[in-house]
Amino acid sequence: MASHTPASLKALLNQRGFRLTPQRQTILHIFQTLPQGNHLSAEELHNILVAQGERISLSTVYRTLHVMAFMGVLRELELAEGHKHYELNSPDPHQHHHLVCVQCNRTLEFESDLIDRIGTKQAEAEGYHLLDCQLTIYIVCPDAMQQGWSHSLPRDWVCNRMMQMRPDPE
């Protein structure tokens, strides 16, 4: 998966007239050191920042994430109902896609040439340039189904199989 080097990212931001303030650099560093396949919501990022001793309000985190997505540094994802998640953006519009368990919110990433080709074809057929193509597939894990999803499961019930089902990274 292609990603920005610190130098190429800085050049790109300067070219677009954006500045990487110390606060944005701190946030970028957190995303750069996340384990592969992790995504953060504004709340989760805010918790990490506060734990690191940063004095930053949740509303500033929301705003900064949005700006950094606009800058092309982060990729904004609609994974769970009602709130956005973020991950590092890559210069390549052909990125990975997501399977999301609606019970556990666990997220599995996958790549698909077929989906990318459809995205490119659709965009180009209309004369547009593809920037990003994301497919989110909502699933229920087998354990949740067995437990009687959705009638009897409390909202905070989480399966333990999702991590083991994670496909091998290629």
Annotated binding site for Zn(2+), which residues? 101, 104, 141
Quick one: 109 or 116, whose CB is closer to Zn ion? 109
Quick one: 13 or 104, whose CB is closer to Zn ion? 104
**Residue 42 three-state SS:** helix
Dist. CA 111–CA 131, nearest whole Å:
16
* Least distance to Zn ion, CB of residue 21, Å: 25
Instruction: Tell me which residues in 27-56 interact with Zn ion (CB under 5 A).
Output: none
Interface map 62-101 toward Zn ion (x if CB under 5 A): -------------------------x-------------x
For residue 42, the one-letter residue type is A
**Residue 14 three-state SS:** helix
Quick one: 54 or 132, whose CB is closer to Zn ion? 132
Residue with tokens 């001793």: 53
Among 64, 109, 119, 149, binds Zn ion (CB under 5 A): 109
Q: Which of 64, 63, 86 is nearest to 75 (CA)?
A: 86
Q: Burial of 40 by CB count in 10 Å (0-12 exposed, 13-18 middle, 19+ buried)? A: buried
What sign results for the dihedral spanned by CA atoms 54, 59, 62, 63?
negative
Instruction: Note whether 141 binds Zn ion by CB under 5 A.
Output: yes
Question: Under the rule (CB under 5 A), what is the footprint of Zn ion?
Answer: 87, 101, 103-104, 109, 141, 144, 159
